[in-house]
Structure 1
Amino acid sequence: MRAACWHGRQDIHVDRVPDPTILNPRDAIIRITRTAICGSDLHLYNGFIPSMKKGDIVGHEFMGEVVETGASVSNLRKGDRVVVPFPIACGHCEPCSRELYSLCENSNPNAWMGEQMFGYTPCGIFGYSHIMGGYPGGQAEYARVPFADVGPLKVPDQLSDEQVLFLSDIFPTGFMAAEACGIRHGDVVAVWGCGPVGQFAIKSAYMLGAAKVIAIDRFPYRLRIAASQGGAETINYEQVSVSEALREMTAGRGPDHCIDAVGLEGHAPGLKGAYDKAKTLMMLESDRPVALREAIMNCRSGGTISVAGVYGGFIDKFPMGAVVNRALTIRSGQTHVHRYMRPLLERIRSGEIDPSFIITHRLSLDDVSEGYSTFSLKEDECLKVVMTP
């Protein structure tokens, strides 16, 4: 089959690889009909995630048609149309029993690597390094889905692939980020980063009762989408002081909740940005936590910081004094996608949201190199790339 494979920094292209096969009675094989490039895939593309190997199949946002099931998979049939959650979860361990699916204790065969990096291992993830299990990803014609009896969600025929594809990751991720804030009616929420996750965090914050959402980014087209599609007020951090603008927009108190939808490749003008870039180039810091620092310093006292952006290792100049002395709460986590798929599917089915609004580029799988480059460089006002194998 054809699959998008990692060959080094900024080198992802299509190779011919063996078709996947059933390895466990709880497996299923999916013929992929839609797959997408996620913002977190850019961390692989730009060389920030360790333990990648040449030839690794990438991609964790995908859906398709069931073509084969293992003997223990009774909930799926050949021909079923399904969306696959990016965390791989067994459904039966202690974290899974508490719906903390991204903390599954049984799905990462390379648990020792996760333990060395994080203390304890997270779950396995499709197409996202050997620290996360080394599973082949979904930017391909077919994929093997472990624990298929608890993961894939069957979707109704009346909804298109593009309407439901993002249930695999970024819609639940944006929603969980907003939910983690504990939003009450009338609250003000600030969102750093207007990429796809940020856009869904904006929409979700309003769904959960926010009175005002403020979107912060540097690309005019992403801010325009946040305003026109999400109803957010906007701040371009290259044009104005974020701190001063937020104080003016919140009567001097700061936002009630701040969402970091940027993660480890944050940018900032001036010395702040140069400092982090230099530290990462010298391998003295693994992540650039520009947005996280800014969210902490600008959140109102007693407020909540929700971190949806991906961080991989260690950060510098973390303002712990502000967290402690102003009683801030920080919440984060890889998304427990399984928990959110059915309720968010109902919101799509009811017409409350059509997630396809974020798609700007539709390509074939053979154009994956172009897709990664365009998305990474923010060329042609690229917000989201969806591919058809």
Structure 2
Amino acid sequence: MKALTWQGKRSVSVENVPDPIIQEPTDAIIRITSSAICGSDLHLYEVLGPYLNKGDVLGHEPMGIVVEVGSAVTKLSKGDRVVIPFNISCGECFMCSQGLQSQCETTQVKAKNSGAALFGFSELYGSVPGGQAEFLRVPYADYGPVKVGAELPDERYLFLSDILPTAWQGVKYADTPEGGTLAVFGLGPVGQFATRIGKHFGLRVIGVDPVPERRAMAERHGVETLDYSKTAADEIRETTDGRGADSVIDAVGMEAHGSPVAAFAHNALGLLPDKLAQKAMETAGVDRLAALHTSLDAVRRGGTVSLSGVYGGQASPMPLLSMFDKQVQLRMGQCNVRNWTDQLLPLVEDDADPLGVMDLVTHRVGLDKAPAMYEKFQKKEDGCIKVVLQP
């Protein structure tokens, strides 16, 4: 089959790789009909190369049609249409029973002291082949895949794989009081959905991003926007009686603008042998923290900062004196996708499209165009906000 593979820093290519096969009786094989490029994929493209091997198949936002099931699978059948959550969870362990599927004890990558295995996301999360491909092997197929109807287009359902539940969890974790103000830093795909979910819950929402096209998309959904700058926190305080936002979501992560020292560290990591680079990431502060530090500045005293953006440094410096003094609550983590999908499915199937799932994709291309779209997405060219690949 054809699949998008990692070849090196800022280098991916479509190659012929072996077709996936049933390895365990609880597996299923899915023929991919749509697979999106995620902002987290850009972390693999740019920063997390030390944990990748040449030829690794990328992608963790797929959906498609079941073509084969293992002998122990009872809830899926050939021909079922399914969305595949990006984290692999069993549904039976203690963590899954607590709604913490991203910490699934059955699939935890203990060798790296990481949580549940993820599709297409490096040694840190199990080196499981991803879904930017023609076919995908799906473990624990009776629990993970979300069965959907056949009538609506893929884009109604595709984002249940990751970014929609990630944004939903981010807003839930932000715990903004009724009628309060939620600020969202970063108006990429997760940030766009987070702002819309905030509006859906009746909040005042302020979106912050340096890219005009992203601000314009958010404004279409009734979101107030600010250009990202060193004064963004001050501007938010000016519109909130001098206090700051009740809650802030950081939907940017480790590659934030305005962090030149950490940007240098990212480039330096790319020059080290993989084992040395891994050691550096696991012991040093290599994240670009401008968005996170601004989020902590912009939240009011007693407020909550919710992290949806991915961070990778083990010793990234934090302003603990200020955080403690302001009594800031900090919540974060990989999304527990299956904890939220039952709540989200009726919303994505609603004819009114209350979360605007049909107003996100800016580029639809064949799988063969994926390398060019990775570059375009990273550089934020051509108004690129969300890319869907169709094998």
Which TM-score tier does this pair reach, normalised by the shorter chain? over 0.9
Unaligned runs of 5+ in 1: 116-120
Q: Secondary structure at the match of 1:224?
A: helix
Aligned runs of 1:240-259 on 2, under 5 Å? 241-259=231-249
Structure 1 vs Structure 2 CA RMSD: 1.3
- Per-residue CA deviations over 1:352-372 (Å, capped at 9, x if unaligned) read 234131100000001111110
Contact map agreement 1:179 1:205 (CA 8 A) in 2: no
1:237 is matched with which residue? 228
Query: Which of 196, 201, 220 is equivalent to 2:194?
Result: 201
Moved over 6 A (4+): none
Aligned mates of 2:334, 2:260 — CA distance in 1: 28
Q: Secondary structure at the match of 1:15?
A: strand
Aligned AA (1:218):
P
Query: Which of 124, 130, 138 is equivalent to 1:145?
Result: 138
1:223 is matched with which residue? 215
Aligned mates of 2:85, 2:66 — CA distance in 1: 14
Query: Which of 154, 161, 175 is equivalent to 2:154?
Result: 161
- Taking structure 2 as the reference length, what is the TM-score of the superposition? 0.93
Aligned mates of 2:265, 2:361 — CA distance in 1: 34
**Cα distance, 1:152 vs structure 2:** 0.4
2:372 is matched with which residue? 370
Say if 1:9 and 1:339 are closer, same or farther in 2 by CA, change over 3 A: same
Moved more, 157-166 or 145-154: 157-166
Contact map agreement 2:211 2:227 (CA 8 A) in 1: yes
**Cα distance, 1:262 vs structure 2:** 0.2
Q: Secondary structure at the match of 2:192?
A: helix
2:34 is matched with which residue? 34
**Cα distance, 1:54 vs structure 2:** 0.3
**Cα distance, 1:244 vs structure 2:** 2.1
Contact map agreement 1:191 1:216 (CA 8 A) in 2: yes
**Cα distance, 1:49 vs structure 2:** 4.9
Contact map agreement 2:193 2:355 (CA 8 A) in 1: no
Q: Secondary structure at the match of 2:314?
A: coil
Aligned AA (2:135):
Y
Aligned AA (2:46):
N
Contact map agreement 2:234 2:298 (CA 8 A) in 1: no
**Cα distance, 1:315 vs structure 2:** 4.8
Identity over aligned pairs, percent: 43
2:167 is matched with which residue? 174
Query: Which of 184, 197, 200 is equivalent to 1:191?
Result: 184
Aligned AA (1:187):
G
2:98 is matched with which residue? 98
- Taking structure 1 as the reference length, what is the TM-score of the superposition? 0.94
2:272 is matched with which residue? none
Query: Which of 372, 378, 381 is equivalent to 1:379?
Result: 381
* Residue correspondences, number: 375
Aligned AA (1:335):
C
Unaligned runs of 5+ in 2: 270-283
**Cα distance, 1:112 vs structure 2:** 1.2
Aligned mates of 2:11, 2:254 — CA distance in 1: 20
Does structure 1 residue 348 correspond to structure 2 residue 348?
Answer: yes
1:118 is matched with which residue? none
- Per-residue CA deviations over 1:120-150 (Å, capped at 9, x if unaligned) read x200000000110110000000000000110
2:12 is matched with which residue? 12
- Per-residue CA deviations over 1:99-136 (Å, capped at 9, x if unaligned) read 1000011114x4212x2xxxxx2000000001101100
- Per-residue CA deviations over 1:233-252 (Å, capped at 9, x if unaligned) read 111124x7212211111111
**Cα distance, 1:297 vs structure 2:** 1.4
Say if 1:281 and 1:6 are closer, same or farther in 2 by CA, change over 3 A: closer
